[in-house]
Structure 1
Amino acid sequence: MENYDEIKYQEAAKRVKKIKGFYTHLTVFIVVNTMIIIVNVQNLDEGESFFKFKTFSTALFWGIGLAAHGLSVFLPSLIMGKDWEEKKIKELMEKEKNNKWE
């Protein structure tokens, strides 16, 4: 049972690392894009519109990447459920145990 607890701990640690990576990515996204917006607003010519594609293109494409990152972190548990991972770990451990005895 100790091996099972160690495996569960390692799985949880991996999950936390993925979530932390996403939140770090999100924080950097917000900070950098806020700075880009501030610089763009300060450099506007008189009468020039702020709403141009070049102003938002970085945020748009980076946002698509950020959304993909978020989906890769959070979507598997939403689709498969939280118990799926635990069941799969038990299944693989049973297969490994049975293969050792054959």
Structure 2
Amino acid sequence: MPSKNKKPSTSYERARKRVDDIKGFYGHLTAYIIVNAVLLLARGKFHFMLLSEGALGDPEFLNWIDWNVFGTPIVWGIGLGIHALSVFVRNPFLGRSWEERQIEKYMKKGEK
């Protein structure tokens, strides 16, 4: 009987963790979209301001700004892609069955 009561709890905990993981990914995606949209919009205004006032009109400085504005979505996008894979693609090597096998293995070692 105790295993029947424990199993739904475990299933619930797994489902809850999965929902939390998906929710975390969508929060990450939302931040990615908002921050990068602001960066791209600010880039245009920043270039215009620097060029119109003649302040810091050094082409190397403008190139540095471009690399940062365009590099941020690329590097962050790679991290976001890895996050998406970890949430939505099941890992056959370190998935739930692997975790269960490892738990059983260490529980058996603890009994000896």
Sort the TM-score into its range (normalised by shorter chain). 0.5 to 0.7
Counterpart in the other structure of 1:73:
87
Q: Separation in 2 of the partners of 1:6 and 1:67?
A: 31
- Residues 29-84 of structure 1 show CA distances to partners (whole Å, capped at 9, x for unaligned) of 000001111110112246x9xxx433311111111111111111111x3x65xxx8
Counterpart in the other structure of 1:53:
67
User: Whose RCO is larger (CA < 8 A, sep 6+)?
Assistant: 2
Q: Separation in 1 of the partners of 2:68 and 2:77?
A: 14
Q: Separation in 1 of the partners of 2:6 and 2:12?
A: 10
Instruction: Write the letter of the residue equivalent to 1:65.
Output: G
2:28 is the alignment partner of 1:14: no
Q: Which runs of 4+ in 1 moved over 6 A?
A: none
Unaligned stretches of 5+ residues in structure 2: 52-58, 60-65
Q: How many residues align?
A: 90
Q: Say which one has the larger Rg.
A: 2
What is the percent sequence identity of the aligned residues?
33
Q: Give the alignment's TM-score, normalised by structure 2.
A: 0.62
Matches within 5 A, 1:35-50: 35-45=38-48
Q: Separation in 2 of the partners of 1:65 and 1:54?
A: 16
Superposition CA RMSD, Å:
3.2
Q: Separation in 2 of the partners of 1:70 and 1:85?
A: 17
Q: Give the alignment's TM-score, normalised by structure 1.
A: 0.68
Instruction: Write the letter of the residue equivalent to 2:29.
Output: L
Q: Separation in 1 of the partners of 2:68 and 2:6?
A: 54
